[in-house]
Amino acid sequence: MVERHDRTTDPELLGALLQARRGTAFFARKLNELSDAELDGDSLLSGWSRRHITAHIGYNARAIARLVEWAATGVETPMYPSPEARNHEIEFGATLSPIALRHLFDHSAVHLNVEWRDLPEDAWRHQVKTAQGRIVPAEETVWMRTREVWMHAVDLANGATFADIPAPVLARLLKDITGAWKTRGTDTGLVVNVTGQEPELTLGDTSAESPTVVSGPLPAVVQWAAGRGSGGVTAVGPAADAASGSVDAVPAAPKWI
């Protein structure tokens, strides 16, 4: 029998699923506000149109659904055959007619939601492998999708901002980004300070003797850290001075992905 509700009863997981579904609805709203002709316009990502963003989000849902199916059946089903196949898929999707592109987003989102809904309680702990080769429990797929839909809704360049993204999503996203910097060693001498909340959140190379400190409200700091602009943040320290010779210049964030 097909389930009408999520099979999991874990309150934390149910909350995470709700956040992912809200992000999907938000992306859908920003997409549906665009006319077919406007899909040809530039996104906030260099080299990608809004068509590319939409195709990516559609195929991403299918890829994540494959991981959920893996968790449910035990049969290994990778997200993508290869990075090249993923890139080709997006480029192809960007050439679809507007109605086909919109259907891709709608149908893939429904498919993923059904896979999540029908996944048995114990299967959420089954291990799967991401496109980057990380071994994670199936519950991680919820965050993987949450991050994609909220951020790329902004990338559609249709009025959404990082301030529209829920604070818990922003906070986890910032920890993901700064964690990636730390793993690569690219955060040396860099401290990120989130202001306007109690307690303030400080991440990065906090042991540096003479750090460059980038500060601002959570949405602005995440926007900067994700490489989407430096509006609303300030920086002091050696890297800021080197950026333009003034104490308030903001250096580019290290590469994240």
- The string of pLDDT tens digits covering residues 59-104 is 999 999 999 999 999 999 999 999 999 999 999 999 999 999 999 9
- The string of pLDDT tens digits covering residues 134-182 is 999 999 999 999 999 999 999 999 999 999 999 999 999 999 999 999 9
- The CATH classification number of 167-244 equals 3.30.1050.20
- Cα–Cα distance, 98 to 101 (Å, whole number): 5
pLDDT band at 235 (very low <50, low <70, confident <90, very high): very high
* DSSP label of 42: B
Q: Which CATH superfamily is domain 11-160 in?
A: dinb family like domain (1.20.120.450)
- Cα–Cα distance, 127 to 238 (Å, whole number): 43
H or E segment to which residue 128 belongs: strand 127-129
- Cα–Cα distance, 90 to 43 (Å, whole number): 14
CB neighbours of residue 227 within 10 Å: 17
11-160 and 167-244, same CATH topology: no
Smallest CA-to-CA distance from 168 within 153, 183, 190, 146 is with 146
- Cα–Cα distance, 46 to 171 (Å, whole number): 25
Domain residue ranges in the chain: 11-160, 167-244
The CA angle 141-143-147, to the nearest 5 degrees, is 120
